[in-house]
Amino acid sequence: MRPRLLTRIDRYLIAKFLGTYFFSIFLIISIAVVFDFNENVDKFTTNHATWHAIIFQYYLNFIPYFTNLFSALFVFLSVIFFTTKLADNSEIIAMLSAGVSFGRLWRPYLICSALIAAMSFYLGAEVIPKGSVRRLAFENQYKRNKKNPTYADNVQLQVDTGVIAFMEHFDGISKTGTHFSLDKFKNKKLISHLTATSVEYDTLSDVRYHWRLNNVTIRELRGLREHITHHVRMDSIITMEPQDFLFIRNQQETMTIGELREYIEKQKNRGSGNLKAFEVEYHKRFAIRGIHPLHHRHGALVTQAKGRHGTLAGRGHRPQRKLYPAAGNISNILHQRRPASGPGRLVAKHHLLIHRLVPICQGTQMTQNKQKTWIFTTWT
């Protein structure tokens, strides 16, 4: 018979751990919401924030953001609390006595860490950035009483290799700019100079980077000669967007993984040096999700070293089967089958889904194995 990927012990441990994790998340975030509301209630009242905006625009996006931010910490604390609870109930002793190694006990921990890491990565990469747009807009309007910038002056940026764009004024509301110029260089020599009295970004176009230029003059330099052309109106594809001119506070938190990657590459090609915040945010989303398995491992190691009533759950300890002459394997415990008869028969009692060893005899004998590890054994 092929062994099952998840046994009853695995399902029991996974269910118990996930229950502990989500309960701790719910408890801490509830306290955080209460404290945040008490701290900002005066600002909400002063700036006339509605209950609909407070609940659905702010706290509905506040909860996922901070849940995902502190997810790794909650994993670590949940592992410690959950594993300590197992040790206090002697459930780990039952599994070790049945021949289950510590390496095998880590399987449900690793499965839980993989599930939480995948969920956290998806939320941080796709869901939370979209909600952060509404949350930051609410904070700027009702908490800081500051609005996002809607215009920019004297904007200059490199839109392509050897192509420099300049705009004297840009209005973010109407998506229009004035006194626009576009210079093209080849081998550090100017070969083309375009000027327009105004430009407008076409938001209805199916093509990205579509701009409409008005009163256009193009000067093409060909050695000692130049060719000048005029256009009343001209459509052009220029690799720049309105958000390239307007910088919003914590803008990197509102971008998905794909948008962050594209933005960083585009700004590097333009020679921009103000990318540290965006690069840190990009790598942080991968790094934070990757430490969930480490927190599972470290939490398990911390609690496995804790003993109770003479039992040891330290790493590297493997129960010696000779101390339990007829203990059998894990299936004897899971299915409540008594091992083969013998003078030192060990009796197991079913408790929940995991079976704990319960002393039912008259006396308890303490022995010591070769690793200087104290183990309680019960004999009939």
- Residue 131 in any domain: the answer is yes
Please check the confidence at residue 149 and state whether its pLDDT lies above 50.
Answer: yes
How many C-beta atoms surround the C-beta of residue 250 within 10 A?
13
pLDDT tens digits for range 16-68:
999 999 999 999 999 999 999 999 999 999 988 999 999 999 999 999 999 99
Report the Cα–Cα distance between both ends of the chain, in Å, rounded: 34
Distance CA 120, CA 71 (A): 8
Tens of pLDDT, residues 87-128: 888 888 888 888 888 888 888 888 998 899 899 989 988 899
Sheet holding 176-186, edge to edge: 151-160, 163-171, 176-186, 189-201, 210-222, 225-237
If asked whether residues 114 and 14 sit together in one domain, one would say yes
Higher-scoring residue by pLDDT: 81, 378: 81
Q: Which of 258, 277, 300 is the last residue of a domain?
A: 300
Is residue 269 assigned to a domain?
no
For 6, half-sphere exposure in the C-beta direction (CA atoms, 13 angstrom radius) is 11
* Single-letter code of the amino acid located at 170: F
Is residue 12 located within the same domain as residue 143?
A: yes
CA–CA separation, 29 and 199 (whole Å): 47
CA dist., res. 168 & res. 178, Å (int): 6
Last residue of a domain, one of 234, 268, 300: 300
Tell me, what's the pLDDT at 342? 39
Question: Greater confidence, 51 or 306?
Answer: 51
| Mean residue pLDDT across the chain | 76
In this structure, the answer to whether residues 20 and 136 fall within a common structural domain is: yes
Q: Is the pLDDT of residue 197 over 90?
A: yes
DSSP 3-state of 375:
strand
Do the Cβ atoms of 229 and 222 come closer than 8 Å? no
Domain annotation covers residue 215? yes
pLDDT-derived band of residue 293, with 50, 70 and 90 as boundaries? Answer: low
For tokens 């585009």, what's the residue? Answer: 266
User: Could you give the CA distance from residue 149 to residue 246 in angstroms, rounded to a whole number?
Assistant: 7
Q: Are residues 240 and 294 in the same domain?
A: no
Q: Are residues 207 and 138 in the same domain?
A: no
Instruction: Give Cβ neighbours of residue 205 (< 8 Å, ≥ 6 apart).
Output: none
Which residues neighbour 144 within 8 Å (Cβ) at sequence distance 6 or greater?
A: none
Phi, psi of 334 (to 5 degrees): -65, -35
Residue count (the chain): 380
115 and 202 fall within a common domain:
no
Residue 106 shares a structural domain with residue 119: yes
Number of domains in the chain: 3
CA distances from 210 to 74, 163, 242, 264, 346 (A): 47, 17, 11, 21, 79
Find the angle CA(135)-CA(138)-CA(143) to the nearest 5 degrees. 115
Which amino acid is present at 174? Answer: S
Structural domain includes residue 274: no
Query: Structural domain of residue 331, as residue ranges?
Result: 311-378
Burial 300-313 (b: 16+ CB within 10 A, else e): beebbebeeeebbb
